[in-house]
């Protein structure tokens, strides 16, 4: 199907370029069994329901789940092959009214990774951007803008329905129920795109360059 190949080629070029750019981060993530040093830290900040959490991370896994209090509760472990990289890593955690910013910093090409566990109020908007790692969101109501370079995104929700779902993977699959047994419209060849319009309250936008996106209902 020559016509179809021509349509998909630009997207493929972008995805290959993404893989090349993220290759050093992928190497650090893939070798996580070689971590020699690690430190675990915790923090918590008051945060009213209905606000927006902005999170930025280079390498690591993020798990965001529903909490039982009007707080953002953070637990994270920083890992590296070198003790200095662990000591030099830092986290900027800032809350200003209805906005919370959470940024994880490590030296470039330092083979440093973060394992992040977050509890947030049940109604929290999420704006998450990471380069390499897996992202899981469980039981959170609110708008979601989720983006990964390489990794898998998994969204597990309870009763919240969406007015818009747009989920796409450059190379990978997009699957799962969008509402009850409805799956929305899935298109694509090398990568997949799922689009859904419903009568819910929130919007979910998710994209991964290389990896899978799974939508689940409890």
Does 2 score more than 50 pLDDT?
no
Does 33 score more than 80 pLDDT?
no
Q: Which long-range contacts (CB under 8 A, 24 or more apart) does 66-71 make?
A: 66/119, 66/120, 66/121, 66/122, 66/138, 66/139, 66/140, 67/119, 67/120, 67/121, 67/122, 68/119, 69/121, 70/46, 70/121, 71/44, 71/45, 71/46, 71/47, 71/119, 71/121
Does 180 score more than 70 pLDDT?
no
Percent of the chain surpassing pLDDT 90:
64
Classify residue 137 by burial, with Cβ atoms within 10 Å: 0-12, 13-18, 19+.
Answer: buried
Model confidence pLDDT, tens digit, residues 132-167: 999 999 999 999 999 999 999 999 987 767 899 999
């Amino acid at each position: 199907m020559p016509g179809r190949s021509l349509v998909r080629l630009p997207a493929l070029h972008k995805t290959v370029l993404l893989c090349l750019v993220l290759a050093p981060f992928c190497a650090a993530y893939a070798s996580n069994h070689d971590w020699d040093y690690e430190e675990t830290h915790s923090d918590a900040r008051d945060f009213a329901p209905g606000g927006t959490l902005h999170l930025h991370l280079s390498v690591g896994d993020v798990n965001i789940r529903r909490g039982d209090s009007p707080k953002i509760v953070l637990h994270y472990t920083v890992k590296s092959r070198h003790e200095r990289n662990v000591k030099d890593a830092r986290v900027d955690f800032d809350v200003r009214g209805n906005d919370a910013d959470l940024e994880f910093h490590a030296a470039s090409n330092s083979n440093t990774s973060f394992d992040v566990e977050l509890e947030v109020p049940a109604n929290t908007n999420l704006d998450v951007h990471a380069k390499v790692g897996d992202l899981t969101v469980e039981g959170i109501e609110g708008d979601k803008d989720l983006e990964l370079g390489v990794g898998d995104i998994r969204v597990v929700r309870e009763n919240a329905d969406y007015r818009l779902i747009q989920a796409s993977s450059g190379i990978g699959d997009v699957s799962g129920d969008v509402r009850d047994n409805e799956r929305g419209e899935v298109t694509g060849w090398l990568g997949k795109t799922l689009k859904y319009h419903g009568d819910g309250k929130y919007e979910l936008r998710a994209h991964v360059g290389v990896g899978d996106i799974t939508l689940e209902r409890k």
